[in-house]
Amino acid sequence: MVTGVPDGGVPVVNRLILDAAEARGEPVTVVSLQDHGASPAPHWSGHGFHGSGGSRLRFLASALGVRDPGRALVLATHAGLAPVARAAAIVRRAPLLLFLHGVEAWGQQGVLDRWGIAGSRALVTNSRFTLEEFRRSHPRFATLPGEVCHLPARPLGGVDSRGTPAPRPPRAIVVGRLWGRGLLKGQAQLLDAWPGVVRRIPGAELWIVGEGDGRAGLEERARALGLGSSVRFLGFVSDAALDAAYRSCDVYAMPSRGEGFGLVFAEAMARGLPCIASRFDAGSEVVVDGETGIHVDPDDPAEILGSLLRLLGDREAARSMGEAGRRRAGEHFTVERFRSRLGEILAKYGGGEP
């Protein structure tokens, strides 16, 4: 397994892939571009590990030189790693699979990246949307086999304290890092809509989870809008605290741009929250419009405001959609289903020479 992205949702998916392989009894060797040292960080525990500390030369040498007899497959977990992964696959006379997450694969790729992608036996994507966007952006690879493997809602380690909730204000929550592409989750659009929410639903709260250098700008935006205590910035939180935050809210709102899957949608649905998602990215593949949430145009303030008012103002409707989302997550976005689906893909493409 060839990995390399140090932040965001990609490391979470890497961990899920490793856990799935381990659950099947698969021997795994990890070659990582960004991790440091010759021994694994805690999240790689139990696997053969080669960290490159950000050195591309060391990364290439490890991928080509590591001894891992019996491995029948090379899996790259980012489009930018495809050239090194293809070289490793050639040395091992093994098939190559490439896992695509979203926006990193939709833009134009360099010559070396295209060479690496061309050596893939198949693409594995987290959503049908990601696969179709990749093929639209790269028609030369339109005939490359593609397999969709939806991601699971993570077990966050919290306690499910169902029952009659204590009285509290209606709350919406959004989760994402507050820098780079993480700021395209719709946080600013939610802040802009919030004055209209509190005018109609006094006491309503917006919780923003995440940390980064974009936080100061969002806090200033909230102050300029006069939102006061109706908006809470929770910063970075542990998994258990995130679980508790989901369960303390009524709506998950993320009118994002360019979501490749939206792992947080699955997490929120698994905890009974209806979701507000963009109709123009993979959020619409995870969230069923009118059944488990509402699809909106992230560039339409009136749609965002209307969806918030509908779900926060009618708690019975929100609970009904939330329960439908919980059922959908239990049917489609579980760790067991992810492991089963990934196992099918590995078995399908893992044998024979490239």
Residues 142 and 191 in one domain: no
> Is the predicted pLDDT of residue 87 greater than 60, yes or no?
yes
Q: Angle at the Cα of 162 (from 157 to 166), degrees rounded to 5? A: 115
- Both 312 and 235 in one domain: the answer is yes
In terms of domains, do 114 and 253 share one?
Answer: no
For residues 306 and 339, state if they share a domain: no
Q: Beta strands of the chain (E only): which ranges?
A: 2-3, 29-32, 48-51, 74-76, 96-100, 122-125, 146-148, 171-175, 205-209, 231-235, 251-254, 275-278, 293-296
**Is there a single domain that holds both residue 313 and residue 341?**
no
**Pair (323, 340) in one structural domain:** no
In a domain, 163, yes or no: no
Q: Is residue 257 part of a domain?
A: yes
Instruction: State the chain's mean pLDDT as an integer.
Output: 90
User: Number of structural domains, the chain?
Assistant: 2
pLDDT tens profile 322-352:
999 999 999 999 999 999 999 999 989 985 4
d(C-alpha 99, C-alpha 124), whole Å = 5
The answer to whether residues 256 and 179 belong to one domain is: yes
- The pTM (predicted TM-score) of the whole model is 0.90
Is pLDDT of 353 > 60?
Answer: no
Mean pLDDT to the nearest integer, 31-41: 67
Count CB atoms within 10 A of the CB of residue 103.
16
Report the pLDDT value the prediction gives residue 168, as an integer from 0 to 100: 87
354 lies in some domain? no
Query: Is 345 in the same domain as 307?
Result: no
CB 47 within 8 A of CB 71: no
Whether residue 261 lies inside any domain: the answer is yes
Q: Please check whether residue 137 lies inside any domain of the structure.
A: yes
**Residue range(s) defining the domain that contains residue 287:** 171-332
Percent of the chain with pLDDT over 90: 69
What average pLDDT score do residues 5-21 get?
77
Domain shared by 73 and 187, yes or no: no
CATH number for the domain that contains residue 318: 3.40.50.2000
Structure confidence by residue, pLDDT tens digits, 188-243 = 999 999 999 999 999 999 999 999 999 999 999 999 999 999 999 999 999 999 99
Whether 250 shows a pLDDT value over 80: the answer reads yes
Q: What CA–CA distance (Å, rounded) separates 169 from 180?
A: 31
For residue 162, is it within any domain?
Answer: no
- Residue 138 and residue 258 in one domain: no
Higher local confidence (pLDDT), 162 or 250? 250
pLDDT of residue 35: 76
Could you tell me if 141 and 229 lie in one domain? no
Please state the rounded mean pLDDT for residues 179-195.
Answer: 96
Task: For residues 266 and 154, give the distance between their C-alpha atoms in angstroms, rounded to a whole number.
Answer: 8
Q: Residue 18: pLDDT band by 50, 70, 90 thresholds?
A: confident
Res 162 pLDDT > 60: no
What mean pLDDT do residues 280-307 have?
98
